[in-house]
Chain A
Amino acid sequence: MAIEVRIPTILRTYTGGAKAVQGAGDTLADLLADLDSRHSGLRGRLVTEEGALHRFVNVYVNDEDVRFIGSLDAKLNDGDTVTILPAVAGGALGLLAAAAFLGR
């Protein structure tokens, strides 16, 4: 089962510069494990040590933000496109305060 995964500029060091790579998996978690077998370290930039999706990474399946469709458990189908985009965020608040503000 082939799924196209679109890689943002900042993570292309893991894909040899490729803007898009192919992967497989029934869920987003499976897909990221599959990708990490060929692009070692990529998964660690997207998933925390506790096994949750990083707060400041957006992952979409086709046109849906995975946070609304099960996060790492989001189901994937052949032909889906997965897009990874780093969140664009910041602000005057200190980082710890920002984390508290965002409920993490």
Chain B
Amino acid sequence: MLTISQAILDAIIAHARRDHPHEACGLVVGPAGSGEPVRHIPMENSAHSDTFYQFDSMEQLRVWKEMDERDEEPVVIYHSHTATPAYPSRTDISLAAEPGAHYLLVSTREPEVTEVRSFTILDGVVTEEPVKLSGVVDDHAVQSYMFGQTPTAVDYECRG
């Protein structure tokens, strides 16, 4: 399960809405070993694309060094899909390289409702997990999110 504060999730969704129709991407990092996402770092999508994202390599180095100095690790890696559901694409699965991270997907395809789903991706296997909000301050805001929370393992090893 991913537990994340409403304030950070709101900031992620605002980032995704701001960059729409381009895909937005970023991180939430936390103290190493804690599994707690506490520091939101929006990243530049160096692909500036509606269908692809990639962290800018120099920005990534700066952020990774900073995490090292602060003894932090990436807890959440997020990006948006702007015309498709919040589910990892084959590209997402092939390129997932942080086995310990929660991969959070945000779909901005509907203007009024933002779909948010979280997954772990390990050796090509996608496992959905529930998203739990902490620090909820506004019940109404939550109603504009749609969470997919069916924990199922999907094995992509057999893809043709």
Which residues on A are within 8 Å of B, measured CB to CB?
8-10, 56, 58, 60, 63, 65, 67, 83, 85-95, 97-98, 101-102
Contact in complex: B53, A90 (CB < 8 Å):
yes
Please pick, from B23, B57, B90, the residue contacting A58 in the complex, using a CB distance under 8 A.
B57
Query: 17 interchain pairs (CB within 8 A)?
Result: A63-B61, A65-B61, A86-B97, A87-B60, A87-B95, A88-B54, A88-B77, A89-B54, A89-B95, A91-B89, A92-B51, A92-B89, A92-B91, A93-B89, A94-B89, A98-B91, A101-B49
List chain B residues, Cβ under 8 A from A90: 52-53, 79, 88-89, 91-92, 95-96
List chain B residues, Cβ under 8 A from A67: 57
How many A-B residue contacts, CB cutoff 8 Å?
A: 101
List chain B residues, Cβ under 8 A from A88: 25, 27, 43, 54-55, 60, 77, 95, 97-98
A21 CB → nearest B CB, Å:
16
Contact in complex: B60, A58 (CB < 8 Å):
yes
Given contacts A65-B58, A87-B54, A90-B92, contact A8 B97 (CB under 8 A): yes
A54 CB → nearest B CB, Å:
11
Known pairs A65-B61, A89-B53; list 13 more (Cβ under 8 Å).
A58-B60, A58-B61, A65-B58, A85-B64, A87-B57, A87-B60, A88-B25, A88-B97, A91-B79, A92-B84, A92-B89, A94-B91, A102-B52
Contact in complex: A101, B52 (CB < 8 Å):
yes
Q: Which 3 A-B pairs have the closest CB atoms?
A: A86-B97, A93-B51, A90-B92
Q: How many of B's residues come within 8 Å of A, CB to CB?
A: 35
Which residues on B are within 8 Å of A, measured CB to CB?
23, 25, 27, 43, 47, 49-55, 57-58, 60-61, 64, 77, 79, 81-84, 88-92, 94-100
List chain A residues, Cβ under 8 A from B47: 89, 91, 101
Contact in complex: A60, B95 (CB < 8 Å):
no
List chain B residues, Cβ under 8 A from A98: 51-52, 91
List chain B residues, Cβ under 8 A from A89: 47, 52-55, 91, 95
B69 CB → nearest A CB, Å:
13
